[in-house]
Structure formats: structure tokens, C-alpha cells
Amino acid sequence: MQGTVRLFDGRQGVALLDDGTEVPFPAIALDGLLRLHPGQRVQLVVVDGTVVRVAVAGTG
């Protein structure tokens, strides 16, 4: 699923899905990314209701 970064403080963040749902994610899900910026599009992988991977949309 895809969404837009609402906030990210280096330890955790929140993405806003296209349907308006807010999805929290831990920094460990960033898979090597160092930072995210509000408004940035991301691809989220969710397993059992938990975000396990966040990647910049369109890059993998």
C-alpha cells in the first residue's frame, strides 16, 4: 500500500494512506533509509497489522 509521510522524528513516524487512515511505523521499518520528510510518498508493507517495511514510493 502507498501513503504520504505525515511526520517522522527519527524514531517513529506516521503515514497517511490515500483513504485518510493514519498508519504509525517504527524507524526499524525504514530498511536503511536515514530520513523521511512530510509529504514524501512511501510504499508500506504490512504484516499482521504492523508496518514491517517502508520504502520511498517508486524506488523499490
Cα–Cα distance between 10 and 30 in angstroms, integer? 10
pLDDT in tens, 44-60: 999 998 899 999 887 65
Is 14 in contact with 23 (CB distance < 8 Å)?
Answer: yes
Cα–Cα distance between 16 and 32 in angstroms, integer? 21
pLDDT in tens, 5-50: 999 998 899 999 999 999 999 988 987 777 899 999 999 999 998 8
**Number of structural domains the chain divides into:** 1
> In CATH, what number is assigned to the domain containing residue 39?
2.40.50
Cα–Cα distance between 20 and 17 in angstroms, integer? 5
Range of the domain at 27: 2-56
Q: pTM score, two decimals?
A: 0.84
Pick the closest to residue 27 from 19, 17, 39, 36 (CA basis).
36
